[in-house]
Amino acid sequence: MALKRLTSFFLTLPVVTALALGLSTGTFAKAAGGKTLVIALSSDSTGLDPETVENNDSGYVMSAIYDDLVAYKPGSTDVEYTGIASKVDISKDGLTYTFTIRPGIKFTDGTPCDADAVVKWLDRLLNKDNPNYYAKRPGIDSFVPDTFHNVDKWYKEGADQAVVHMTKPDGSFLNSLAMVWMGVTSPAAVEKYGLEFYKHPVGTGPFKLVEWVPNDHVTLEANKNYWKGAPKIDRIVYRVIPESTVRAIELMKGSIDVIADITPTDALTLEGKPGIHLIKQPGLMILGIALPTQTKPFDDVRVRQAFNYGVNKDTLCKFVFKGLATPMNAPMPPSQWGYDKTLPGYPYNPEKAKKLLADAGYPNGLDATLYIYPAQRSYNSAGGPAVGQAVQNDLKQIGVNLSLQQLEFGAFLAKTRSKEFSDLCLAGWSGDNGDPDNFLGALWRSNTLINTAHYSSKAFDDLLAKGLAATTVKDRVAIYKQAQKVLNDDAPWIYLNYATQMRAHSTKVHGMVLNPTAMFFGMDKVSKD
């Protein structure tokens, strides 16, 4: 009897299923027609309001939804006037930026994207009394303070111009405005959705949001009226596939078209596989070891230079990073405009290193401690321990006994960013806006949070200030080259390498250009066989 009851229970389900299928007169959903590009992400977006998030997975989606006032040149961080503004006039004192808004652009909700809309967008970001002020939602992460910290006025001028006025010149302003995190939002949609706008994004970009199923996928549909011309694909589906190996298997099978983030292990697996194209280029990232420049013996530049000569960056990149990194010769990566390729860096030379140590008064070497974190970072695909051990081994050859101290990443940051910190630590950086000041200033300006070397040089700080005050790219490049030379000579870091930036896609996909900021810009140009 009991068995019958259980059996009937388990048999009921398929019977009900069959019955329901047989009796149902509902319509069946059909596969939507047209070309779909499937992009695999490792995590879900956390919000699609560009000024309130900073994580890449959200940025990947938003880069197809929004346009900025200015844009990066494809595949670089050079700024060009191919965004919403057709022209930008900068006053001679570098304090006033006048944006001429391109006529005829509309947001995907039909609202005109004119000078009024741009001023309303600025007001939402800068006016705390605006009812839709961007920072009203708690827990947001924003580049607005970094981008607009010098801005005191914003207003419309004439019929088609939006003006931004600053109290202090900021040469990095246009580069910041080109970031995906500065997408221009529809004022009508902001008004309509208020604090919920991050779930209902509306921009002027080549695609618009159709569906967002949390933790599963985001579907975008082509904006057929896109002002640069209709996109070549009909929709983009961003699928969340957390496991990197699974993303690689899906790409090999052909069920996805693009892997946004690829691990070095999977890159090596996918490289050379038929039907798969692996984009590899120097990323907007640097990795090194911060030396405590204010603490003995590292206050002596000869010791810092000895440590630089004592590490073999070529073998580190070749073996520890499996060829997916390039030895560093300058304190900015080659993908950053202003990079000085003529700087010699510190080629491996243990003899020279020993001599410098002896000259500094340490003929028998010295002891030091290096703080490391356990996991991999975007700028350190080998992970903290592997890099630490390789450097430890190299420095042993010049008489330096380096002991390693590993801390969980949060504790590592807390320890190494304190003012009292006086040891060596791993240091790295991924560029945000593709401006030289975002590398040189963020990492080595006196008394900044991330300057874990506690480097302080008046000459260098003055150059940084000059760089921000200059209004032409040409002038700024010249200034930042001088700054790189100062940093190279002062050696506040052991300069290790530039990480390789990678993206994998099916060979059926064409026109995919990998921007150094990793965002999916120019998706209107991408096509699929």
Binding region for other proteins (CB under 8 A): 1-3, 5-6, 10, 13, 16-17, 20-21, 24-32, 36, 38, 43-44, 46-47, 54-55, 137-139, 141, 198, 213-217, 237, 239-243, 245-246, 249-250, 252-253, 255, 408-411, 413-414, 432, 442, 449-450
Report CA-CA distances (Å) from 308 to 99, 374, 450: 45, 23, 20
Task: Please report how close the Cβ of residue 278 comes to other proteins at its closest, in angstroms.
Answer: 18
Task: Please report how close the Cβ of residue 253 comes to other proteins at its closest, in angstroms.
Answer: 5
Question: One-letter amino acid identity for 382?
Answer: A
Cβ distance to other proteins smaller for residue 217 or 277: 217
The owner of tokens 């050379």 is 272
Task: Please report how close the Cβ of residue 216 comes to other proteins at its closest, in angstroms.
Answer: 4
Task: Please report how close the Cβ of residue 28 comes to other proteins at its closest, in angstroms.
Answer: 5
Other C-beta atoms lying within 10 Å of the C-beta of residue 138:
6
Cβ distance to other proteins smaller for residue 381 or 488: 381
Report CA-CA distances (Å) from 417 to 73, 412, 429: 35, 8, 14
E strands, 243-378, where?
258-259, 276-282, 285-290, 325-327, 366-372
Cβ distance to other proteins smaller for residue 148 or 154: 148
E strands, 74-160, where?
79-80, 85-90, 96-101, 151-157
Task: Please report how close the Cβ of residue 449 comes to other proteins at its closest, in angstroms.
Answer: 6
In 3D, which of 488, 185, 215 has the Cα closest to residue 330? 488
Cβ distance to other proteins smaller for residue 392 or 438: 438
Report the alpha-carbon distance of residue 82 to residue 73 in Å, rounded.
8
Task: Please report how close the Cβ of residue 367 comes to other proteins at its closest, in angstroms.
Answer: 28
Cβ distance to other proteins smaller for residue 16 or 459: 16
Three-state SS letters, 200-269 = CCCCCCCEEEEEEECCCEEEEEECCCCCCCCCCCCEEEEEECCCHHHHHHHHHHCCCCEECCCCHHHHHH
Cβ distance to other proteins smaller for residue 5 or 92: 5
Task: Please report how close the Cβ of residue 408 comes to other proteins at its closest, in angstroms.
Answer: 4
Question: One-letter amino acid identity for 265?
Answer: T
Phi/psi of residue 375, nearest 5 degrees? -90, 180
β-pairing, 36-41 with 258-259?
Answer: parallel
Task: Please report how close the Cβ of residue 416 comes to other proteins at its closest, in angstroms.
Answer: 11
Q: Which residues of 1-13 are buried (b: 16+ CB within 10 A; e: fewer)?
A: eeeeeeeeeeeee
Task: Please report how close the Cβ of residue 217 comes to other proteins at its closest, in angstroms.
Answer: 7
Cβ distance to other proteins smaller for residue 99 or 238: 238
Task: Please report how close the Cβ of residue 48 comes to other proteins at its closest, in angstroms.
Answer: 11
Whether the Cβ atoms of residue 406 and residue 384 lie closer than 8 Å to each other: yes
Cβ distance to other proteins smaller for residue 245 or 294: 245
Cβ distance to other proteins smaller for residue 26 or 104: 26
Count how many residues are written for the chain: 529
Cβ distance to other proteins smaller for residue 235 or 354: 235
Report CA-CA distances (Å) from 195 to 71, 93, 133, 140, 490: 27, 38, 9, 11, 48
Question: One-letter amino acid identity for 168?
Answer: K
Task: Please report how close the Cβ of residue 9 comes to other proteins at its closest, in angstroms.
Answer: 10
Alpha helix (H) ranges present in 34-178?
Answer: 56-65, 115-126, 144-148, 173-177
Question: One-letter amino acid identity for 396?
Answer: K
Report the alpha-carbon distance of residue 220 to residue 223 in Å, rounded.
9
Here the tokens at position 341 are 């390729």
Cβ distance to other proteins smaller for residue 80 or 408: 408
Helix or strand (DSSP H, E) at 311: none
